Structure 1
Amino acid sequence: MYRSHFGLTQLPFKNSPDFHFFYEQASRLEILNALIYVVKRGDAIVKVTGEVGCGKTTILRLLAGSLDDSFKIVYINSPNLNARDLLFHIADELSISPDPGLAKFSLLKLLRDELLKLHSQGLQVVILVDEAQAMSVDTLEEIRLLSNIETEHDKLVQIVLFGQPELDHALQQHNLRQLKDRISYHIHVPPLTPEEVQSYLNYRMRQASYKGLDFFNPRFSRLIHKLSSGLPRSINTIADQLLMSAYGMGDVELRKRHFKNISSENISKVQSNFKLISLALLLVLVVSYVVIFRFQDALVAHFSSIESVRYHDITSMAPKHSAQTLQKTNVNLPDHAIAIESASLSGELENGEPIVIPEVNKTTDKLYQILKNTGLKEEQVSDLMRRHDKTAEWLLAHPLSNYVIQLSVASVSDFVKAIESYKRYKIPDDELYVMVDLNISAKKYRVKFLYLKSESYSYLKEKLIDLPSALKKSQPFITPLKQLLHSLERTKQALS
């Protein structure tokens, strides 16, 4: 295969769900967090829609894996079940074995008794339904009736429906109006924009241990976006074929000629769906402009735990066309809840005030203690924290479209040695930036060394070539500035 040719340890574009490659940007992490929030809140029915291949099933599985042991998951991936079979399937998932000839009334009573038993044990049942758009009207109505099972204070079962946009059309039917009214939150998973496609492609390459410059440049990423309509499943298929083509021609860089070898069947299939998908996206965008993304207690609790906060305009950090579309319906949030405009990200709340988010004071005692425990002296810890603060301000001060050279990554204990090395090779101290970063997989803090930024990828590529050969041994590469901002925010959240 092509893995060794490109220095990869894994295949970066397999279409089977792999959480190691989960792309947190383009609203994906926000959507996952929103789902976790509304499920823990206790909402009866939630709906998630998106085009084929947009990543709904991956989000579903991440949601299931993110809920703790107080939740019991029932997974339904057979949308062709009739109403009666649906009840038997749920019973089987709950380890109940009713007689196949049991009357529906008795079956419902059996389910209710089991749900009450689980509730008394502190367990909440969550039913995750995949491909809900393929369910019959009777089965969807049965789901509504299940949501009626409750105690005086609590719902005994919660339901999250994942489906294609056809699910929205189905819910417009008169005989499903009660189910539609019962849905408390509507979430849409958007396709990727051309800029997000490039970030997505290169992110997956990095996750597969690719060490070179960005393999997918803006030009080729725009072409892949056009062929795939921004849908990750199609993007993966095309990218995999491009790597195979480059490998077959002995190339280590992507070239225009590699697109000629993409399966004509794949391209024609994607292009034949492009007009229909564009029309659907247009409708979604129109709706999205009036949708409000709201969080309640989770955000309030998070921000109240922060010792010192200051405010920063979110419009300087938010990716364009991020299309977060969590819609609040029939839920009263307190005045202090935070509302963020979902689709346009114009920088204003509904009342015209600027959108702001709290930014954690970076010099926290927790970070100080973590760094001190690595063996650094007190003055060295202070220097590292000062450089980290300087880097955060530097990143926030520049457009998201910029790129940055990442020189290397080192353990915290090697911070001083690395600084001395860069001084020895004449890297100006005022152009060397350092940030503390949390390695999620290893659960360890590390230090990233950054050098220069520019909106011109070609300019930074030339600067890479000009680096001393000794520094090239650490395999420096060009990375999007917004990717570094994301890492910075992730580290701050871990420290909060």
Structure 2
Amino acid sequence: MIRSFFGWERTPFTKEIEPRHFHRSDRFEQCVARLQYMVMTRSIGCVTGEIGSGKSTSIRALKERIDANKYRFLYLSDAHLKPRDFYRELLHQFGASPRFLRGEAKRQFQHLVWDLFENQKKVAVVVIDEAHLLSGDMLQEIRFLTNFNMDSVSPLALILVGQPELQATLQLRVFKPITQRMNVRFHLESLSSQETRAYIEHHLEVAGSTHPVFTTEAMDAIYAHTRGISREINNVCTASLLDAVLRKDKLIDAIHVSRILTEFDDQ
């Protein structure tokens, strides 16, 4: 509907956007650069950010940029897993049949990681999303997981991704052994007003737009409501575009956005 009305090649502001079309703000590039550093140095680290700030998008960008011939990418997003299920899921992603007992599954996973590192010359990259929801038992298991060969050599990179409360949790004394092992901790800030305008314009350009669609005042209103959170920007922009289609308007001004935000507030 939106694409055909505006005559674009694709619909903007959707999560199906290809990695090559991501909006690369300075903050986003800083985040991805740190993720790449963790991978290259086989480190443990964490990335935090508000809901919808672009953390998962950064992980997608990381996966796209690392060499599949050198790295094995393993991704977990079920933070409610217990330690045994945690190892079982990782082993499934390795294509291995997990052993039943947790200790056996853990040793099985460590053996596969070492074999990958020493014999196949590849590094396992383990990304745990929604890590702010991890239980204390799981965080302690991560501590033990990273203790390869008495900390002398690490054959894997381990990245925790979560909301800001993850940082607060890791500051607790009981988790100090984990934070001491962390080489990188990065918080992904939301977009500024200027970056929000650039973000909107970029997505429209990728869609195939050659003319302004949102006025400056409309984009400022979107920023004021979303506080620069990319997922919220996507939602408001999509709703505004749908409103414009129904009204057969090719230009979206602050009045359009105000009307949409009123509808959001009523939900």
Q: What's the TM-score, normalizing by structure 1?
A: 0.51
Structure 1 residue 268, shift from structure 2 partner: 6.4
Structure 1 residue 152, shift from structure 2 partner: 8.0
1:217 aligns with 2:212: no
Residue of structure 2 in register with 1:227 after alignment:
225
Indicate the percent of aligned positions where both proteins have the same amino acid: 26
Which stretch shifts more, 233-242 or 250-259?
A: 250-259
Partner of residue 118 from structure 1, selected from 110, 116, 130: 116
Question: 1:17 touches 1:58 (CA, 8 Å); kept in 2?
Answer: no
Residue of structure 1 in register with 2:200 after alignment:
201
Opposite residue 166 of structure 1, the aligned amino acid is E
1:105 aligns with 2:99: no
Residue of structure 1 in register with 2:148 after alignment:
149
Q: What's the TM-score, normalizing by structure 2?
A: 0.92
Whose helix fraction is larger, Structure 1's or Structure 2's? 2
The SS at the match of 2:195 is: helix
Residue of structure 2 in register with 1:466 after alignment:
none
Question: 1:128 touches 1:159 (CA, 8 Å); kept in 2?
Answer: yes
- Give 4+ residue runs of structure 1 displaced > 6 Å after superposition: none
1:130 aligns with 2:129: yes
Residue of structure 2 in register with 1:174 after alignment:
173
What is the root-mean-square deviation of aligned Cα atoms in Å? 1.9
State the structure with more CA Rg: 1
Deviations 1:42-76 (A, max 9, x none): 22x11100000011001111111211111111111
Residue of structure 2 in register with 1:76 after alignment:
76
Question: 1:245 touches 1:261 (CA, 8 Å); kept in 2?
Answer: no
Which stretch shifts more, 260-269 or 185-194?
A: 260-269
Structure 1 residue 267, shift from structure 2 partner: 4.0
Question: 2:124 touches 2:157 (CA, 8 Å); kept in 1?
Answer: yes
**CA distance in structure 2 between the partners assigned to 1:179 and 1:152 by the alignment:** 12
| Alpha-carbon distance change, 266 to 80 in structure 1, aligned in 2, over 3 angstroms | farther
Residue of structure 2 in register with 1:446 after alignment:
none
| Alpha-carbon distance change, 136 to 153 in structure 1, aligned in 2, over 3 angstroms | closer
Structure 1 residue 123, shift from structure 2 partner: 1.1
| Alpha-carbon distance change, 247 to 79 in structure 1, aligned in 2, over 3 angstroms | same
Residue of structure 2 in register with 1:4 after alignment:
4
Structure 1 residue 155, shift from structure 2 partner: 0.6
Whose strand fraction is larger, Structure 1's or Structure 2's? 1
The SS at the match of 1:215 is: coil
**CA distance in structure 1 between the partners assigned to 2:169 and 2:207 by the alignment:** 40
**CA distance in structure 1 between the partners assigned to 2:18 and 2:223 by the alignment:** 22
Structure 1 residue 154, shift from structure 2 partner: 2.7
- Higher relative contact order, structure no. (Cα contacts within 8 Å, ≥ 6 residues apart): 2
**CA distance in structure 2 between the partners assigned to 1:52 and 1:265 by the alignment:** 21
**CA distance in structure 2 between the partners assigned to 1:53 and 1:75 by the alignment:** 18
Question: 2:55 touches 2:161 (CA, 8 Å); kept in 1?
Answer: yes
1:140 aligns with 2:139: yes
Structure 1 residue 115, shift from structure 2 partner: 1.8
| Alpha-carbon distance change, 17 to 253 in structure 1, aligned in 2, over 3 angstroms | closer
The SS at the match of 1:23 is: coil
Deviations 1:349-376 (A, max 9, x none): xxxxxxxxxxxxxxxxxxxxxxxxxxxx
The SS at the match of 2:180 is: helix
Residue of structure 2 in register with 1:241 after alignment:
239
